[in-house]
Structure 1
Amino acid sequence: MNIALFTETYLPYINGVVTHVKSLKDGLERAGHKVLVVSADINTHRHYIENGVLWCPAKEFKRFYDYGLASPVSLKRLRMIKRFKPDIIHIHNEFGVGLSGIAIAKILKVPLVYTLHTMYDDYLYYIAPKPLIPVVRRFSHRYFRFLGKRAAAITGPSPKVQEFLSECGVAKKVNVVPNPVELDKFQLECVDQEKVKQIKEKYHIQDDELIVCFCGRLGREKSVDVLLDYFAQTVDRADKIRLLVIGEGPSRPELEEQARKLKIDDVVTFTGKVMHDELVNYYACCNLYVTTSLSDTNSISMLEAMATGLPVLHRFDKLNEGQIVMGVNGYIFYDAEEMYSQMLKYKSLSDEQKLALRHSVIESVKKSGQENLAHYLLDVYHHLEVENENHSKRHGKKRKLSVFELDVFHHGDQDKEE
């Protein structure tokens, strides 16, 4: 099959969507399929293909996760994708590149798959002042209803996606496809013990301390403020428990100030941005991974930590139930006291019990690799391909572009004439 994956952001940027798309591309190619990634590039004024990626001219949009925004219409882009002859178009974002995927799928009569990665209701504060959020939410839900109705199939990493789209008025079933983890990069064999030693020295980590970490973009939706409150309410200095917050983001200054006001800044460390290929060494310095976020669907950072053997302390989230199984790959907590109790419970385990738990955690994510992700989605793709072939037999072959469609795409084209 020829599969075109549309995403607003791609390597060298690293976030959950990029990791998902890169893992899917690798898994599909290993299975013998051809993949074209379509993404935005703020540093170009023309469309070009390099290493299996069609880069589209875009404008910088730092306000929302450093995305580049590409025009949704371009005749050059349409022609390049038409030459690729996609059997499936799969969009992973909802802006310029994603909208062009919807239009091109309709024009070429190719089945459209839509993966919703983000619970956007938790991110509206990035684009709207607080008094306008209810109005923006209504428009947002209408927009997602438009997207959902145009997809032949919808996927998402947790049942939370089904609930969100149902609230938006989308009646279609969501295929739950768990997020992937790059198992070859996050395993104990990848740990550089010399770098682990350097990290411990840098942050003054002692061997008798319990190091609990969180990794992610520091935005309000991650609820790190809740984690700091819980930590301040319960953890005592005599417990020798420290929190390592890994990542960067707009909320970092206020979170650091919160830690100072709560007088826990001596036991909470903010590392700032850590390169993705260094994360495995940071996780190797830690004992537990903790999250109080209720906006995540199936956190890739959490899965990466689990792949290195870190049990997870997870705030209860009904719609993510089952991702963490008590005593198998971590612990669930409902409030500050339960979080603290689970930390002490882990700390009291013998070395043999801790080692057995770490092995159990690693086993729990072994089916989250690239091949598994590709297998899940190939089932979806093949089903749609059969449906599309049957539809073509009944209604004829793919049509040529209408004059109107050619005009629309040409009008939106950003490419300079060679």
Structure 2
Amino acid sequence: MKILIVNPIIYTSETRDIKKVNTIKDTMIYDLSLGFMQKGIDVTLIACSDYKPLQKESYPFNVVWLDAKIKKLFPSNTIPYCPDIKRYIKNNKFDLIITSEVFSLNSLMLSVRSKKNLIVWHELGKHNKLMHQLPSKIWYNIIARLFFRNTKIVARSVQARAFISQFCNNVSDTVIDHGVNLEKFKYETEKENYFAVSSQLIKRKRIDKIIKVFSEYVKEEDSTCKLYIMGEGEERENLEALAEELKISNNVIFTGKLPHSELVGILSKAKAMLVYTESDLNMVSIVESLAMATPVVTTCVPYSCHYIKKYKLGIADDDWNARSLVKICNDNSYIQNCLSYRPTLNTEYKVEQFLNVYKQV
């Protein structure tokens, strides 16, 4: 069996100026491709060349880097346009093609040419705010209804499924969220006395709110507890000043950006991972945390809040506070629930879900 995965955006970039990384081997889509390969499937991954790593890497499956075109109109960090996809699928035959997003020029090209063996893996659960939602509403109400009408769509969340079902007829009942390679994420049930944040230090992440809540927890409940803030960003100095102002600078540890292996080691032993984002819909870091049996305390913004609530994998509350941290520390059932849910986060499980959907295409 031959599978093509079209995922131009390998990792998130906040700006058009995409920062190069040394490797893509710690990305979700790499692990998914590896999962298919380990099932004995011939896998090819197509990605935008703007995300090609700084260092030359070898991969156990085929990776094709295609150039994005007309970048001023279609930025590579949001809606990359890679027209060479048409030529590639014309010259190469695949049993199954998995492409990301309905709102994508690449997915549109594939839906027109390869509808019969195509799955669109859809993430967005509401209209994009750009230009008062006008481009998004035009795309979904006209383009999606015309050219994706009968294309098989698989949503990445319950919210995304409800949204895309308004415009497309052939939406699978199966929801496939991001997965992780469990071999890379060893769980720890004996937690140490600290919380963890894994995030860019930018305004919309609202790390300032996390620090303020943690300050209350330290002063009211446990003066020895620590907070690891792992990541870099423009808000770091402001956040360090806030910790100083609240007189908890000895309790808050800013690590900067860590190698993934070090980040995982810290996250695995945390009492909980803390999230106060205002706009991030899908966060791979949440999946990684749960895979290591580290509960998550989050707002209801990330789509994963649905199953965090349903399976009691942490606390999802738009106004979580110091009492929420007390609750997560005093109830070990959250850790046990994460362990029970862990197998469904495995990339192998996601691969099986895709193959089951493929049988219905």
Instruction: Output the TM-score relative to the length of structure 2.
Output: 0.75
Asked if residue 115 in structure 1 is aligned to residue 121 in structure 2, the reply is yes
Over 3 Å counting, the alpha-carbon distance change for 1:345 and 1:231 in structure 2 is: same
Question: Which of 210, 213, 217 pairs up with 1:227?
Answer: 210
Aligned residue number for residue 162 of structure 1? 161
Aligned residue number for residue 325 of structure 2? 343
SS in 2 for 1:225: helix
Q: Partner letter of residue 45 of structure 2?
A: V
1:39 touches 1:56 (CA, 8 Å); kept in 2? Answer: yes
Q: Partner letter of residue 383 of structure 1?
A: Q
2:125 touches 2:162 (CA, 8 Å); kept in 1? Answer: no
Over 3 Å counting, the alpha-carbon distance change for 1:238 and 1:383 in structure 2 is: closer
SS in 2 for 1:184: helix
Aligned residue number for residue 29 of structure 2? 21
Asked if residue 216 in structure 1 is aligned to residue 213 in structure 2, the reply is no
Aligned residue number for residue 264 of structure 2? 280
> 1:85 offset after TM fit, Å?
0.4
Percent of pairs with identical residues: 22
CA distance in 1: counterparts of 2:155 and 2:251, whole angstroms: 37
> 1:66 offset after TM fit, Å?
7.9
CA distance in 2: counterparts of 1:292 and 1:121, whole angstroms: 22
CA distance in 2: counterparts of 1:66 and 1:253, whole angstroms: 29
CA distance in 2: counterparts of 1:366 and 1:291, whole angstroms: 23
Where in structure 2 are the equivalents of 1:17-416 lying within 5 Å? 19-42=27-50, 51-58=61-68, 67=77, 71-74=81-84, 77-92=85-100, 98-108=104-114, 110-118=116-124, 135-145=131-141, 148-149=144-145, 150-151=147-148, 152-165=151-164, 170-172=167-169, 173=171, 175-188=174-187, 210-233=193-216, 235-236=218-219, 239-240=222-223, 241-293=225-277, 295-316=279-300, 320-325=304-309, 329-336=313-320, 339-348=321-330, 354=332, 358-384=335-361
> 1:56 offset after TM fit, Å?
1.0
Bigger proportion of residues as helix: 1
SS in 2 for 1:53: strand
1:310-355 Cα offsets, whole Å, 9 max, x none, are 122233469645422589533344534xx32232244456xxxx4x
CA distance in 2: counterparts of 1:382 and 1:170, whole angstroms: 23
Over 3 Å counting, the alpha-carbon distance change for 1:381 and 1:148 in structure 2 is: farther
> 1:55 offset after TM fit, Å?
0.9
Question: What is the alpha-carbon root mean square deviation over aligned residues?
Answer: 4.2
SS in 1 for 2:344: coil
1:40 touches 1:68 (CA, 8 Å); kept in 2? Answer: no
1:158 touches 1:297 (CA, 8 Å); kept in 2? Answer: no
> 1:276 offset after TM fit, Å?
1.9
1:7 touches 1:93 (CA, 8 Å); kept in 2? Answer: no
CA distance in 1: counterparts of 2:181 and 2:27, whole angstroms: 8
1:17 touches 1:117 (CA, 8 Å); kept in 2? Answer: no
Q: Gaps spanning 5+ residues in structure 1: where?
A: 125-132, 190-206, 385-418
Give structure 1 regions of 4+ aligned residues with deviation exceeding 6 angstroms: 14-18
SS in 2 for 1:239: coil
> 1:39 offset after TM fit, Å?
0.7
CA distance in 1: counterparts of 2:48 and 2:360, whole angstroms: 29
Instruction: Output the TM-score relative to the length of structure 1.
Output: 0.66
2:194 touches 2:226 (CA, 8 Å); kept in 1? Answer: yes
> 1:367 offset after TM fit, Å?
1.8
Aligned residue number for residue 403 of structure 1? none
1:2 touches 1:84 (CA, 8 Å); kept in 2? Answer: no
